[in-house]
A and B are shown apart, each in its own frame.
Chain A
Amino acid sequence: MPRLLASALSLRRDPRLLKLPPYLSLLCIVVGVVWLFLLPLDDYSRRTYISENALLPGQVHTYFGGSDQNVFRAYKHETDELADKGNIEVNDKLESIAKGLGLKVGRQNFTYSSAGNTHSGQNMYAILQAPRGDATEAIVLVAAWKNVKGELNRSGIPLVLTLARYFKRWSLWSKDIIFLFTPDSIAGPQAWVDAYHDAHDSSRVASLPLKSGALQGAIALDFARETRFKSVHIVYDGVNGQLPNLDLINSVNHVAGGQMGMGVAIQEMWKHSTSYHDRLQTMLRGMLKQGLGLASGPHSSFIPYHVDAVTLQPFGDGWQDEMAIGRVIEGTFRSLNNLLEHLHQSFFFYLLMQRDRFVSIGTYLPSAMLVAANFTIMAIALWVKSGQPEVQEVITEKTKTAEEAEKIAVPNPHVAVERDLNLPLVVVAVCHVLSVVPLYLFNHLSESALIPAFVLFSVLSAILPFLLSNLLHTSTTSTTTQQYNLIQSFSLLLLGMFLSSLATLNFSLAFLVGVFSAPLTFVRPCPNSPVLKVLSMIVLYVLSPTTVVLVASVLPGLDEKVGYGLGEVLKQAAFAWDVTGTYTPVVVWCVWWPAWIAGVVSVLGRPEAAGEKKVKKA
């Protein structure tokens, strides 16, 4: 044992050991990315299963249909009449219908402002009090007047009204059922859920006049088409990449796919052949949506409050009619009605490959953690490297005391030289403090100013590293190799730390940012090789936050032929920040951007005495 320890200690001093970390970092990144691509394989993903036995999905007969079809047609006529009416008129009509059904009705006004625009409206909701319950728990059925694409929810609204009438006749409900009608798909539900949990800003969102018990689950219906459909699309992404409990998705899956015999799709994969390619595509789409952290439907706002929710969207041409989707909702509500406690058994962190295959957090988290770990490894390596005595420092350091000069004159490999921490700390801190500027700008400017501001900011952010680098070079005490190593070390340490914390909250965002900033690990000051310098600069500028945002905004989206365009993306980001509290902008501007600036500064670095070092080594 002592010999082993001694050999381990001597190994610690081996100079070859310090050559290792870059390769180790590269290995981490490669393994992390390859790991992700292995996930869709059968050996790494699992079939989904129901964990919560109380749910019993698809075990009950559903009776919605028959004469309810006529009721639906009647409500549909009413809805069509209201198609061009204002929000208040619509709610007046909906209220009179709900009151006619014997439900308690409440209304709520809200006004959000974002990017100079005002988003205001009025929510209407009706509460069906449970015949067998005590108003301590509730489930929500949401129908937004307009879906996320801005289409009128032409069949969804009448269907929810029909279901309200139908549910009222049953005596088996043990949880209150809340029917929520919102004017739009994002701001309305957000205002309502915030107010339901008393977490609203009362200057923008009114309090709710009427409440029920703790929300146990929510289903939103987005049914804009008027023709028969083939399958149902489950939208499950919440704000900031939070997901509903997998049991809820499984239940809907069971009821729709098993009991009703209709197809189920996720992540806009209208056709899914269960091949590796399709699974990978589904997973990557899911990750992209999760990473962006935007609200994807009326259900998204519920998830941060630990209310599991999904949106159902019928799609495709087939023979299923409105009653079929009504029965899916009825079946799911019967399952939720069975719940004895909040959904907690199944997974909250998962990536779905197809409707019945998933990978859980234990399987996929290592890939993001490996990518984040590569930064930490490099940070430690650079720290160790900065502590190693360098012979030429005796000449350059003027402020060394006699005692220290003595110490360096007899180089001692295991006593680290004193590091000068102040300058590197200041540089890294300045980068992080500056990052408040873009965060504030892009979330507070009005819509028309967004694009000019972005262009101006991109140019400034491209020039900033040159300015900083010049400042470092011409300042009275010029910057040494050690200080450049330390700048990079601190910056990478912070990046690695932020990303590994983030990976537990939003895996996809951490992974994406990690992959985009991977080159930061490998760039070094290279004053003697212009080719390497130019090459590093090109890679860094191509993968800079501003370039990535710009390119992402003009690339075609999942379905669309053309991209949204820069203005729309910035507007959406500001809206998400102001209304739903999406924190993706914080990650991009306050985590990624400062790390990038520090990286470019070190590439541009002209460490003092580096030239002499070369000569000496030669």
Chain B
Amino acid sequence: MNGGKVTLGRTAGLYAGAAVLRLALFTLFPGLPDLLTGRVEISTPVTSFKRLQEGLFLYNHNVSPYDGGVYHQAPLLLPIFNLLPSFSTFPIFTYLLYIAVDILSADALLRIAESGEAGSSARFTSPRRDKRWSGAVIAALFLFNPFTIATCIGRSTTVFTTCAILHAIANAISGCHFHAMIALAFASYLSMYPLLLLPPLILLCYDRQKQPAGPRAPDAWIKFTGTMVMDVFGALAVLFQMSFMLTGSWEFLSSTYGVQLTLSDLTPNIGLWWYFFVEMFDSFRSFFLAVFWLHLSSYVGGLSVRLRQQPLVVITLLLGIFAIFKPYPSIADASLFLGMVPLYRHVFPLLRYSFVIAAIIIYATFLGPAFYHLWIYAGSGNANFFYAITLVWGLGLSLLVCDLAFAVLRDEWEVERPEMVGKEIRQI
């Protein structure tokens, strides 16, 4: 933005710093990666690096990677990791891959921040937009967030999804619709739930498309949406076909997406599903699965309509909601959401519970491992201890989602009703 060279040098320094920090953690504490990989807060059944190793082993021995029911991740991850030199002899290449992915994510976030889309979208310009952080600061907040670092060191495969989502948003903002849709297709292919981001992402693309000024044809949006949807599903079809050719059967569909849809692996995680379904009687299981998924997807429509003017806000809020309510959330999802939140620096003064939210999230971060220890290792606690903390964690994140939504809406409202600026409002 201001003085391209200075910014370039600074961002390069930032990325180098983040890379060196991660590399130092990898090499100076050789026990740390495996320790973090084993933590339920970082590795879920659908993102665990340990399970990826198992899948890779089976794949290399010409057995279907989904035999044994341990591996639940996308098949195309296998050839990627197979291309790297063996992890057991040269772990450094895997480390470098993860570090590179993190930096690519940060770069996409930087592009999103520099575009200024958060403060002024095509249909809405916030009066507070001048007060914002530069892209470098936002990228730094993402890269040096302890959750992001822990995810990278724990080598969770969520980082690929995170990277794909951020690139989809960045491309949508810069007007490269096709690339945005391809990136979203990749994210959906890896983790399925990003497909729910399609409606707001189409809105974002539509708002940001490069067009000569002048009235658009009234039904231009239908054609546009059609193209976008075609792009995504075309890309997904190609990816599925490649997966089919790779594994030789359609088994991967039920082993990856099926597991997410039916929650057949009840390993504890920081989400709200596992405990509920552990307790569930089998006859109600399918009903509540449907309810939980319906709940998760119901936010998409409502938010897209209510916040039509600011599609990026919809995406941010949805990422927050996914981090709370998706079947296998981990701190990686929270780190993506927390990475997007600083884009809204301009509405921070309108947040009402920022201190409470920060306190709750930090409390949960420390109490969670303590209670998990009491439950699993010390044997003096039980599952309720850990579940209580996951509820607190969910509370903290949902407060942040609500508060951010409130702040953004208030910001919009003050443009509509200038006479109410600074006045107290009350929800009825």
Contact = CB atoms under 8 A, between A and B. Distances in A.
Interface string A418-443: 10000000000000000000000000
Interface string A227-246: 00000000000000010000
Contact of B424 (A344, A348, A414, A505): A414
Interface stretch (B101-109, B148-156, B242-250, B375-383): B375-383
A500 interface: yes
Contacts of B380: 242, 348-349
Interface in B203-222: none
B422 A407 contact: yes
Contact of A504 (B362, B370, B379, B426): B370
A332 B422 CA distance: 73
A564 B214 CA distance: 87
Nearest to A383: B355
B366 A501 contact: yes
B422 A412 contact: yes
Contacts of A504: 367, 370-371, 374, 381
Interface residues of A, number: 29
A242 B378 contact: yes
Contacts of B370: 501-502, 504-505
Contacts of A502: 370
A410 B359 CA distance: 31
B39 interface: no
Contacts of B308: none
B359 A493 contact: yes
B9 interface: no
B363 A500 contact: yes
Contacts of A383: 355
Interface string A490-505: 0001100110111011
A497 B378 contact: no
Interface string B109-138: 000000000000000000000010000000
A376 interface: yes
Interface in A363-398: 376, 379-380, 383
B3 interface: no
A416 B350 CA distance: 9
A211 interface: no
Given A348-B379, A504-B371, A504-B374, A380 B355 contact: yes
Contact of B378 (A348, A414, A416): A348
A306 interface: yes
Nearest to A306: B379
B373 interface: yes
B363 A306 contact: no
Contact of A344 (B131, B377, B379): B379
A415 B367 contact: no
Given A349-B380, A383-B355, A412-B422, A497 B374 contact: no
B366 A306 contact: no
B362 A497 contact: yes
B349 interface: yes
A501 B422 contact: no
A143 B159 CA distance: 52
B366 A497 contact: yes
A325 to B, nearest CB: 29
Most buried by A among B356, B379, B381, B426: B379
Interface string B385-420: 000000000000000000000000000000000000
Nearest to B373: A505
A415 B363 CA distance: 26
Nearest to A386: B355
A388 to B, nearest CB: 13
Nearest to A13: B424
A376 B359 contact: yes
Contacts of B426: 9
Given A344-B379, A415-B422, A497-B363, A505 B349 contact: no
Contacts of B379: 306, 342, 344, 348
Contacts of A418: 349
A273 to B, nearest CB: 32
Contacts of A242: 378, 380
Nearest to A498: B366
B207 to A, nearest CB: 27
A416 B353 CA distance: 11
Given A376-B359, A412-B422, A493-B359, A500 B367 contact: yes
A498 B380 CA distance: 20
B374 A505 contact: yes
Interface in A342-363: 342, 344, 348-349
In the A-B complex, the 6 residue pairs with the closest CB atoms: A348-B380, A306-B379, A501-B366, A383-B355, A501-B370, A501-B367
22 contacts: A9-B426, A242-B378, A306-B377, A306-B379, A344-B379, A348-B380, A349-B380, A379-B359, A380-B356, A383-B355, A414-B424, A415-B349, A415-B422, A416-B349, A493-B362, A494-B362, A497-B363, A497-B366, A498-B366, A501-B363, A504-B381, A505-B373
